[in-house]
Amino acid sequence: MNTHLDAVFSALADPTRRAIVARLAQGEATVAELTKPFSMSQPAISRHLKVLERAGLVTVGHDAQRRPRKLVVEPLGEAAAWLERHREAWERSYQRLDALLAALQTPDES
């Protein structure tokens, strides 16, 4: 598997980081704004943001004195495409299993 995709899935494995991604999907936000809904310190949120930045999911902007974080959607699209390819394979396997089970349940017409 591609190391970039590994980093994306690893970053999204944590519920706090998923909540940050969900918040940033609504628009950019500063670290202070991202800290508000969580019962953790600003340095702890910053550490989560660093993980998201290394995975390519978040970028840091420069707006006068602010440094807003912004979601980068492309890595999420790559992860979704990977999941979809595997979902299709699993679906085909389940369809074959359903057909086999149906064949086994029908009485033999010998």
Domains annotated for the chain, with CATH where assigned, are 3-105 (1.10.10.10)
The answer on pLDDT for 88 being more than 80 is: yes
User: Average of pLDDT values for 13-34?
Assistant: 95
Amino acid 75 reads P
Say whether pLDDT at 110 is over 60. Answer: no
Identify the pLDDT of residue 103: 87
Chain mean position to CA 65: 30
**Average pLDDT score over residue span 35-64:** 92
Question: With 80 as the cut, is the pLDDT of residue 63 above it?
Answer: no
What CA–CA distance (Å, rounded) separates 73 from 78? 9
> Residue 68 class from Cβ within 10 Å (0-12 exposed, 13-18 middle, 19+ buried)?
middle
H or E element, residue 54: helix 42-54
Q: 4-8, 31-35, 43-47, 85-89 — which is least confidently predicted? A: 85-89
